[in-house]
Structure 1
Amino acid sequence: MTNLKQLMARSLRADVQTMKAYPIQSSAGLVKLDTMENPFRLPEALQQALGERLGKVALNRYPAERLNDLRAALAAHAQMPEGCDITLGNGSDEIITMLSMACNVPGAVYLSPLPSFVMYAMSAQLQGARFVGVPLTADFELDGPAMLAAIAAEKPNLIYLAYPNNPTGSLWDDAVIEQIIAAAGEIGALVVMDEAYQPFAERDSMPRLIRHEHVLIMRTMSKFGLAGVRIGYLIARKALITEIDKLRPPFNVGVLNTEAALFALEHVGEYSRQAAILRAQRELLFAELQALPGVHPFPSQGNMILARVPDAAATFEGMKARGVLIKNVSAMHPLLANCLRITVSNAQENAMMLSALKASL
């Protein structure tokens, strides 16, 4: 009889067995500042209204027309241009999987600057496509000449540009982005502008979507304030969405998630208020970090700040011992040596973080 080890060797992909799962840190009992979540709960009156509404949802039925209602509400919220359409995912992660599957033509190559969101490379690997990463500059800006050279040499069919970028918070130079989009158009590549952190940025890519047929915009409601609801969405020309939507699993967004997202979009003013607070807190926190000896924060347009410290591992452990959980991203890429990624939170949690950081340096 075949033992489990032999069974796995025969039936499971070898590359999957050598991969590492996406890391999720335990946060029990800690101030959680590691995953760029919105720290604010809804006001009590809205909590009660949402609870009553979710209590009336037909949990015995699969999602149906309400998904179309959500698509329409998101399209209106994002001010989707004419000639475009929208598809939904269980978070941006599922959208990335759908894109990786849709673009997996023979010899497929996916390209992104690095460091950036780890799921671009992971999803490419899982689909058997080749991923090419182009290092950013030392100050985490796009290396325009290197990106253009990689596009010319590798001829990718899918390019990801996180705008703002994770984990650096960079809102990259628009002129360089336009050069990349132009080069992609010449070889027939799609360019996905990943705008997960759009609520915190001073500009977005919607004008690019209007100008360029090969540009797609991916967003999520996670940073909007609904990380637990898991709603991602992709906007592009109707013909592109028609094909990509064929890969969307049936009923991939549950009825409770759909209703919660619709409720949030009906109360967008509350979430806009929260985003404004976080943007203001980001600027205050950045100034505080700049004033700390040995700490070098990088400008951010997201709800996180990347900071280089003398010893990231020791500082991370020291902060965790003092009850504050952040993200040590040092191992993600050589450019991130001794870098910590800190979620911007409310004034109270930011103060607790700064206190733990000062004591841990």
Structure 2
Amino acid sequence: MKAALDRALNVLRDDVRAMSPYQVHSAAGLIKLDSMENPYRLSDDLQRALGERLGRVAINRYPAERTQELAWALAAHTKMPAGKALMLGNGSDELISLLAMAVCKPGETVTVLSPVPGFVMYELSAKYQHLDFVGVPLTADFELDEAAMLAAIERHQPAIVYLAYPNNPTANLWDDAVIERIVAAAPGLVVMDEAYQPFAERDAMGLMARHPQVLVMRTMSKFGLAGVRIGYLMGNAELIQHIDKLRPPYNVSVLNAEAGLFALEHAEVYDRQAAELRAERERLQAALASLPDVHAYPSQGNMILVRVPDANALHAGMKARGVLVKNVSGMHPLLARCLRLTVGTPQENAAMVAALRASLAEAGAR
């Protein structure tokens, strides 16, 4: 038995066997503020309406027209410029993987470049396709290091430059003039990842309209449908047409497509939720400012990055008090002693601040 298993394991790629899996921690019994989810559920009336609508979906058939209708509805919702096209993904993660597949050229050295710290899937998806990944450190205050970015682009000639706008986990937007110069210097695609666009004061749609090499990637997860797994990529129609060839033909289920269409038909509900979360973000920033030894960074997302005296101890202390946040202190040296706090409901935010305050006091008493 062991010999057979060893032979089976030996056919797997060595680098895959050596990789660590993406960690999703259990939040059972905890206030879940670690994943930037929208904390608001639909009203009882809308839940019933959605349930009845999903019950009528022909789940005995493969997805077809309905997913195309979702793509059209998203294009209209975003006011996508003329001459652009939109493709759907099973979340943004699949789109990032498809982009890596699209630029992978066997026998050639192909590079993906992004500021770091940033979204981990840029690097992971590059490695899955045997692409080189170049991470360019941000400045100490998490701004783009323009000189370093331009130098890295000149040296490595990346096929893809990812710019998360706002960035994850730092939650900030970057200087638009710097981004314009990066776009001008990039020899390939520039992907503006706008996962947190509902909470930001600016977007990159104008940038995409001006530059054919700029793609804008968004998700319905932060819109309020994290469990539905719908991402979408917009850009030059010819570029999208070629990338879309790699998409599995039925990657978005009919149930997910119907849920997405339902949400867009009730966009005003989700707009109100986003407005409430933006207001809660400001109240949470004020509460964090009153805590000793806590530095909260400016945010344009539904998360706030904080630097604390001991991230490991405070993460454990908050979890012991029933609140789960994200400990990002080990992701990159620039994130030393940092926690990432998701903005929740008023009640959840109050519990999070109380847990953080009590954990700070406990750590200080030791």
TM-score (norm 1): 0.98
Following TM superposition, by how much is the alpha carbon of 1:4 offset from its aligned partner in structure 2, in angstroms? 4.9
Matches within 5 A, 1:176-325: 176-184=178-186, 188-325=187-324
Give the drift of 1:10: 2.1
> Aligned residue for 1:94?
94
Distance 1:123 1:325 in 2: 27
Distance 2:192 2:262 in 1: 26
Q: 1:342 — aligned with what? A: 341
Q: Deviations over 1:86-106 (max 9, x none)?
A: 000000000000000001132
SS in 1 for 2:270: helix
Counterpart of 1:58 in structure 2 is 58
**How much has 1:331 moved relative to structure 2?**
0.8
2:115 aligned with 1:116: no
Amino acid at match of 1:183: A
Q: Equivalents in 2 of 1:246, 1:212: separation in Å?
A: 22
| Aligned counterparts of 1:136 and 1:8: Cα–Cα separation in 2 | 42
Cα shift at 1:107: 1.2
Q: How far is 1:13 from its partner?
A: 0.6
Looking at structure 1, the residues matched to 272 and 29 of structure 2 have their Cα atoms a distance apart, in angstroms, of 28
In the aligned structure 2, how far is the partner of 1:164 from the partner of 1:203?
A: 9
Q: Which of residues 148, 151, 166 in structure 2 aligns to 1:149? A: 151
SS of the aligned residue for 2:125 comes to helix
Sequence identity percentage: 65
The normalised TM-score by structure 2 is 0.97
Amino acid in structure 2 at the alignment position of 1:158: I
Letter in 2 for 1:119: M
Q: Deviation digits for residues 63-86 of structure 1, max 9, x if unmatched? A: 010011000000001111111100
**CA RMSD between the two structures:** 0.9
Residue 177 of structure 2: aligned partner: 175
Q: What letter is aligned with 1:28?
A: A
> Alpha carbons of 1:4 and 1:280: their partners in 2 closer, same or farther (altered >3 Å)?
farther
Letter of the aligned partner of 1:96 in structure 2? I
Can you list the C-alpha shifts for 1:289-323, whole angstroms capped at 9, x where unaligned? 12211000110100000000000000000000000
What is the alpha-carbon distance in structure 2 between the residues aligned to residue 252 and residue 155 of structure 1?
A: 31
In 1, distance between residues paired with 2:58 and 2:6? Answer: 45
Cα displacement (A) at 1:2: 6.5
CA drift of 1:9 comes to 4.8
Partner of 2:103: 103
| Paired AA for residue 245 in structure 1 | D
Distance 1:77 1:298 in 2: 31
2:354 aligns with 355
* Bigger mean CA offset, 289-298 vs 306-315: 289-298
Q: Which residue of 2 aligns with 1:24?
A: 24
Instruction: Note the C-alpha offset of 1:44.
Output: 1.1
Paired with 2:62 and 2:47, the residues of 1 have a C-alpha distance of 25
User: What's 1:129 paired with?
Assistant: 131
Residues 22 and 4 of structure 1: CA distance in aligned 2, closer, same or farther (over 3 Å): farther
SS of the equivalent of 2:233 reads strand
Structure 2: runs of 5 or more not aligned: 361-366
2:341 aligns to what SS in structure 1?
strand
Q: Which letter does structure 1 place at the counterpart of 2:119?
A: F
Q: Which amino acid aligns with 1:229?
A: V
TM-superposed CA distance for 1:5, in Å, is 5.4
Partner in structure 2 of residue 14 of structure 1? 14
